[in-house]
Amino acid sequence: MRLNYLKSYDRLFKKLTSPQQENAIKAIDALIEFIKTGKKPQGLGLKKVRSDYWEIRLSVKNRIIFEFKSDIMNFAFVGSHNEVKKFLKGKD
């Protein structure tokens, strides 16, 4: 499995505060660990939100959106719950 951070993700990640960036890194690490071990960590909040798009929790208010494409995991978006809704609306 390869990880790919899209420009949209990178741009939004840079706008996060330092603690939010650390939480994003921890959330992605937890997701990778879950994929490797099959043991879902508490608080990950993994759920499918569109056909190929999935969501994990960065915090109570913020989410990370990613998609699976064959053996590649594309991280596409990071932001608040409302911003995620707007992002996904553009994917319909």
* pLDDT tens profile 10-35: 999 999 999 999 999 999 999 999 98
CATH of 2-89, one of 3.90.1200.10, 3.30.70.380, 3.30.2310.20, 3.40.50.10860: 3.30.2310.20
Residue 20, burial from CB neighbour count under 10 angstroms (0-12, 13-18, 19+): middle
Burial class (CB in 10 A: 0-12, 13-18, 19+), 46: middle
Residues 40-63: tens digit of each pLDDT: 888 899 999 988 899 999 888 999
Cα–Cα distance for residue pair 11/68, rounded to 1 Å = 20
Q: What pTM value is reported for the model?
A: 0.90
Domain ranges of the chain: 2-89
